[in-house]
C-alpha cells in the first residue's frame, strides 16, 4: 500500500518508554489501523546511509559509501550482481526489496555522535528512511542505534568495533556484522605471545571514547593473561593530529611494546610520530621495541606507508582472503570484482561490512515478507549464512552479534603495490573468539536487548 493510501496524522513521539523523545511521522491506514514507522509505498523504499564524510575517519566513510551505492545497484538488478550470486540465501533476485526499487539518502556523521544523531533523525523524519546504517566510530554507532531503537527503525551497524555496540548498549532493533574488541584480543594475543614472547611490558595510547576503552580492556585482559605487564595507559583526544607529546614519555617508561588503540587518521598520525621518535629501531629491557595496532585496515596501511611494515593487528576481512585461503571464503572475489570494476581499486573491510549489512537487511525483509522491524528482527536472529566472504557466519540471537573467523594481519615488508600492504598471518577460528552473551566485557548479566520496536 502506498503512502497515498495513508492519512498523515502529524508528528508523534515514539519510543520504548514514555517521552523517549524522537519525533517521527506516523502514517495510518485510511481505515485507522496503525502500521509501522516509515512504511514504504508500493514502488520504492528508502535506506539511510550515515557515514563520516569529514573528520578523522573520513577515508573509511568514503569507502563505506561506495559499497552502499554498489549494494543498491545490485539489489536493483544492476551490475554483475556481486555477492547476490554467492550468498547462501537465494531470497534476493535483483528486483529490489519486496518488489520495491531501493532508493537511498546519505548523511555526514562528522565522526561526532551529536552530528550523527541529527543526520539520522533527518533521514527518518524528512526522508522516510526505513533502515539506517553506517558508522566508523563506535561512539556514533551506539548513539544512532539508540535513536533508531526509540524511533522503531532498523539499525544495521557499519564499521563499529567497540564491545559496547552489541554489549552493554545492545538494542533489539540493532545488528552488527563487524567483529569487536573482545574478538581482537582473543585472536591477537596468542600471535603476540608467539612473535614477541610472554615477558613484555606494554604502554597503551588509547582513543578517548568507547571504542578505545573496550579495545584497551580486551587487549590488556588477553595479554596480561599470558604474562604481559601493562606499565601505563594514556587517553588521547579523538581530534588529536600530532601525538608527539604522547609518544615522548614512552621512551623512558620501562615499556618495550607500544599499543596504539587508535583508528583511521588517528592511527596514521600516531604511528608516524612513533616511528619519527625512533621506536621502531629502539631497544628496551634487552628486547627489540615493538608496536602493535590492534585494529587496522588496508586504507590505514596506505596512509601509514612504509611505517606499517611488520606491524601486527587484526581485521574483519581482507580482499585477498579467497585467493589465498580458498573457497571457504567465497563471495570475496565476487565482491572485489564488482567493487574494482566500479571504482578501480579493491575494497576495504569497511566497504565489505557495509555492503554485506545492506544485503543482509534486504534478505531478511524478503524472507520475512515484511518491512516491519520486529519481523526483520525475527528473520535475522539466529540466522546462519555463508558466501559473504567470511565463511560460515551466525547472527546470534542473544546479542545480535555476528560470529565468524577473525584475521590476524601484519604490514608487508615488501608490498607489490599500494593495495597489497597487508598480509594475513593467521585466521583465528570462530570458536576461539566466541564468548558468552553475559561476558563481563559485554556488560555482564545486566546487558539486555530489550524489546523490538515497530514504532508508529
pLDDT digits (tens, 9 = 90+) for 116-157: 889 999 999 999 999 999 876 788 889 999 999 999 999 999
Is 60 exceeded by the pLDDT of residue 416? yes
Q: What is the pLDDT of residue 60?
A: 85
Least confident of 26-35, 194-203, 307-316: 26-35
Among 362, 378, 399, the domain-final residue is: 399
Residues 47-61 have pLDDT tens digits of 999 998 888 788 888
- The answer to whether position 445 is within a domain reads no
56 and 166 together in one domain = yes
234: region left, alpha or beta (phi > 0 left; psi from -120 to 50 alpha): beta
The proportion of the chain whose per-residue pLDDT surpasses 90, expressed as a percent, equals 79
DSSP letter, residue 173: T
- Please check whether residues 189 and 294 belong to one and the same domain: yes
User: For residue 355, what is the domain's CATH number?
Assistant: 3.40.50.2300
Give the C-alpha separation, 106 to 158, whole Å. Answer: 14
pLDDT band at residue 109, thresholds of 50, 70 and 90?
confident
Tell whether 275 and 339 lie within a shared domain: no
How many alpha carbons fall within 13 Å on the CB side of residue 389? 31
Domain containing residue 280: 182-315
**382, 399, 416 — which closes off a domain?**
399
Tell me which of 277, 298, 315 is where a domain ends.
315
Is pLDDT above 50 for 304?
A: yes
On whether both 383 and 295 belong to a single domain, the answer is no
The answer to whether residue 432 sits within a structural domain is no
pLDDT of 18 above 70: no
* Number of domains within the chain: 2
Q: What's the pLDDT score for residue 36?
A: 93
Statement: residue 187 has pLDDT above 90:
yes
Task: Give the dihedral sign, CA 410/414/416/421.
Answer: positive
What is the chain's mean pLDDT, rounded? 90
- Indicate the angle between helix axes 138-151 and 113-125, nearest 10 degrees: 30
DSSP 8-class letter at 346: P
Q: Do 287 and 175 share a structural domain?
A: no
What value does the mean pLDDT take over residues 297-308? Answer: 89
Please spell the DSSP secondary structure of 70-93, one letter per residue: HHHHHHTT-TT-GGGGT-S-----
Q: Select the more confidently predicted residue: 212 or 393.
A: 393
Same domain, 172 and 140: yes
Residue 25, pLDDT score: 38
Tens digit of pLDDT for each residue in 270-295?
Answer: 999 999 999 999 999 999 999 999 99
Amino acid at each position: 500500500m502506498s503512502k497515498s493510501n495513508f492519512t498523515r496524522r502529524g508528528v508523534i513521539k515514539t519510543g520504548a518508554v514514555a517521552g523517549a523523545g524522537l519525533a517521527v511521522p506516523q502514517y495510518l491506514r485510511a481505515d485507522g489501523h496503525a502500521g509501522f514507522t516509515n512504511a514504504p509505498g508500493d514502488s520504492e523504499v528508502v535506506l539511510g546511509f550515515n557515514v563520516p564524510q569529514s573528520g578523522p575517519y573520513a577515508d573509511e566513510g568514503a569507502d563505506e559509501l561506495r559499497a552502499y551505492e554498489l549494494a543498491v545497484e545490485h539489489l536493483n538488478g544492476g551490475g554483475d550482481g556481486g555477492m547476490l550470486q554467492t550468498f547462501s540465501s537465494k531470497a534476493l533476485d535483483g528486483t529490489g526489496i519486496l518488489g520495491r526499487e531501493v532508493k537511498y539518502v546519505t548523511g555526514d556523521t562528522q565522526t561526532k555522535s551529536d552530528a550523527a544523531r541529527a543526520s539520522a533523525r533527518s533521514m527518518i523524519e524528512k526522508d522516510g528512511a526505513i533502515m539506517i546504517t553506517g558508522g566508523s566510530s563506535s561512539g556514533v554507532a551506539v548513539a544512532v542505534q539508540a535513536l533508531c531503537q526509540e524511533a522503531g527503525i532498523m539499525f544495521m551497524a557499519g564499521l563499529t568495533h567497540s564491545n559496547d555496540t552489541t554489549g552493554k548498549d545492545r538494542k533489539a532493533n540493532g545488528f552488527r556484522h563487524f567483529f569487536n574488541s573482545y574478538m581482537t584480543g582473543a585472536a591477537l594475543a596468542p600471535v603476540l605471545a608467539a612473535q614477541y614472547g610472554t615477558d613484555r611490558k606494554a604502554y597503551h595510547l588509547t582513543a578517548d571514547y568507547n571504542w578505545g576503552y573496550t579495545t584497551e580492556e580486551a587487549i590488556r585482559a588477553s595479554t596480561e593473561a599470558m604474562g604481559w605487564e601493562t606499565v601505563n595507559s594514556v587517553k588521547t583526544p579523538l581530534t588529536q593530529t600530532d601525538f608527539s607529546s604522547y609518544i615522548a614519555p614512552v621512551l623512558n617508561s620501562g615499556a618495550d611494546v607500544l599499543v596504539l588503540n587508535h583508528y583511521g587518521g588517528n592511527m596514521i598520525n600516531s604511528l608516524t610520530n612513533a616511528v619519527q621518535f625512533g621506536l621502531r629501531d629502539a631497544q628496551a629491557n634487552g628486547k627489540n621495541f615493538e608496536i602493535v595496532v590492534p585494529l587496522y585496515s588496508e586504507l590505514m596501511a596506505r596512509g601509514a606507508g612504509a611505517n606499517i611494515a611488520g606491524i601486527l593487528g587484526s581485521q574483519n576481512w581482507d580482499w585477498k582472503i579467497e585467493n589465498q585461503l580458498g573457497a571457504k571464503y567465497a563471495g570475496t572475489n565476487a565482491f572485489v570484482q564488482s567493487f574494482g570494476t566500479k571504482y578501480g581499486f579493491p575494497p576495504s573491510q569497511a566497504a565489505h561490512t557495509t555492503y554485506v549489512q545492506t544485503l543482509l537487511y534486504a534478505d531478511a525483509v524478503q524472507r520475512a515478507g515484511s518491512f516491519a522491524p520486529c519481523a526483520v528482527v525475527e528473520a535475522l536472529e539466529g540466522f546462519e549464512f555463508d558466501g559473504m566472504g567470511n565463511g560460515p557466519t551466525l547472527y546470534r540471537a542473544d546479542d545480535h552479534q555476528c560470529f565468524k573467523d577473525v584475521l590476524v594481519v601484519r604490514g608487508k615488508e615488501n608490498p607489490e603495490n599500494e593495495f597489497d600492504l597487508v598480509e594475513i598471518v593467521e585466521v583465528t577460528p570462530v570458536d576461539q573468539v566466541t564468548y558468552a552473551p553475559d561476558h563481563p566485557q559485554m556488560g555482564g548479566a545486566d546487558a539486555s536487548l530489550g524489546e523490538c520496536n515497530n514504532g508508529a
